[in-house]
Chains A and B, each alone.
Chain A
Amino acid sequence: MAPEKELVQLIGFWGSPYVLSVRWALKLKGIEYEYHEENLLKKSPLLLQYNPVYKKVPVLLHNGKPLVESLMIIQYIDETWKQNPLQPQDPYERAKTLFWAKFAHEKCIAPMVSSFFKIGEEQEKCVKEACEHLRTLESALEEGKRFFGGETIGFVDIAAAWMGCWARIIEEILSVKLIDEEKMPRLIAWFSNVVEVPALKECMPPTQNLLEHNIKFRKFLVAAAERLQSVPLTGN
């Protein structure tokens, strides 16, 4: 079905987990692609041309046609390249995976990421919200199953299991608690099961690099907030 000469390009940033999830999808499908590293502080005309609405990475180009938003890109990859399916065939099961991937993104990851951009009470609110929804996600995971859908890696795993690593980084930099060892044992096992898959582990940026990068990023955010408020901020 696919033509012989396919050009697949990925515009990304090494530290972005959304880009990582797309790389995971491409890797699991065995798709060869060209990678273009983007400088997010000085966005290229290419990025702005291909993602004028959101101006963000990842952007996947398939034979020159752009796709944006990581979940949509992964769905597109799964529908275009049929080997190693990431989503179930049954419409109901597929609806469930879509539901949980969106839940993970909108309710767990979004407040987690938001907390990184905030301070004080607002930050606490985001952290609390993330924890509450992480507990819901915990309950969606089935005891004894290696991955979200069972024994084979799938859509929800690559869409969201990276959040374990980023949660730990946020915890360390902000001195907050997101992942509760007692209340979230299945989540912790799931995070580890996914990132330890050799093909996926290969794509992971080194944790130390991510930590250093995000420490600098946090300092930048705090300084910018201080300039806006004209008062020094206390806390992390």
Chain B
Amino acid sequence: MAEVKLFGNWASPFSCRVEVALKLKGVEYEFINEDVQNYKSPLLLKYNPVHKKVPVLVHNGKPISESLVILEYIDETWETGPSLLPKDPYERALVRFWTKFFDEKCLPALWNGCWSVGEEQEKAKEESTELLKILEGTLSDKKFFGGDTIGMVDIVANFISYWLIILQELVGFQVYTKEKFPKLGEWMDDYLNCNIIKENLPPKEKLTAIFRARFEAAAVTK
């Protein structure tokens, strides 16, 4: 029986975060793909009865869910590889702030913007633009949110580096452009250039196809 199991989904940015973290730490794990949109397996429901979602990390039979919680756990449990969070309590607090900001504010606004239409989309576009400006500001002259090397904030912000770009191509939701957000643009290039990152992205064609299918299904129901 594998010591470390990850219940995830190949297309999910949240699941991808955890895979990247495990790989950065050199942790061997068994990946179990859950097709959460269509079916939640008995094991998933057993290990995450509260949220019934992926990712769920199971370490020696003990489950942990919620990607931000999992990332902190990984950082504290495996000392190999780079640190995902700094050691200094104040720097850690800043990392937690930005990861929460990204998950609670940026991601929902960007996601809603991609899926909504008309006035709702306009509103989401305005909100997303303001939020991306804040992110752009925090990068200032750093290569990564984590400094010279990637850290937890970079890993958590993965959505904008890849999933958002694909969604923007599919939908007419142009919030991010390299001209408007040059620092984010540079960050994306550097981030996607990291071996661990580029080797662990879901295949673009497959992801595009999934999103396209969902858009078409959503358009039919409207």
B215 within 8 A of A: no
How many residues in A have their beta carbons less than 8 Å from beta carbons of B? 22
Give which listed residue, B66, B77, B90, B134, contacts A99 with CB less than 8 A.
B66
Contact with A along B58-80 (1 / 0, CB 8 A): 01001011101110110011000
Contact at B100–A72, with CB atoms within 8 Å?
yes
Contact at A91–B77, with CB atoms within 8 Å?
yes
In the complex, what's the smallest C-beta–C-beta distance from B23 to chain A, in angstroms? 19
CB closest residue in chain B, given A102: B66
CB closest residue in chain A, given B64: A95
Give which listed residue, B50, B73, B90, B96, contacts A91 with CB less than 8 A.
B73
In whole angstroms, what is the CA distance A80 to B97 when docked? 17
Contact at B93–A98, with CB atoms within 8 Å?
no
Cβ-Cβ contact count across A and B, 8 Å cutoff: 53
In whole angstroms, what is the CA distance A92 to B74 when docked? 10
Give which listed residue, A67, A91, A95, contacts B93 with CB less than 8 A.
A67
Contact at A67–B73, with CB atoms within 8 Å?
no
In the complex, what's the smallest C-beta–C-beta distance from A139 to chain B, in angstroms? 9
Contacts of B100 in A (CB 8 A): 69, 72
Contacts A62-B90, A67-B93, A75-B96 given; indicate if A92 touches B134 (C-beta within 8 A).
no
Contacts of B118 in A (CB 8 A): none
A33 within 8 A of B: no
Contact at A92–B64, with CB atoms within 8 Å?
yes
Contacts of B172 in A (CB 8 A): none
In whole angstroms, what is the CA distance A65 to B97 when docked? 14
B198 within 8 A of A: no
Give which listed residue, B59, B69, B77, B97, contacts A102 with CB less than 8 A.
B69
B89 within 8 A of A: yes
Contact at B64–A76, with CB atoms within 8 Å?
no
The 24 sampled A-B contact pairs (Cβ below 8 Å) are A53-B134, A62-B90, A69-B100, A72-B93, A72-B96, A72-B97, A75-B93, A75-B96, A76-B89, A76-B90, A76-B93, A79-B89, A79-B92, A80-B90, A91-B73, A92-B59, A92-B62, A95-B69, A96-B64, A98-B72, A99-B65, A102-B69, A103-B50, A136-B50
Other A-B contacts than A67-B93, A69-B100, A98-B69, 19 sampled, CB-CB below 8 A, are A65-B90, A68-B97, A69-B96, A72-B93, A72-B96, A72-B100, A76-B92, A79-B89, A92-B64, A92-B77, A95-B70, A95-B73, A98-B72, A99-B64, A99-B66, A99-B69, A102-B66, A103-B50, A136-B50
Closest 10 CB pairs of A and B: A79-B89, A91-B76, A95-B73, A76-B93, A80-B89, A95-B64, A72-B96, A91-B77, A98-B69, A99-B69
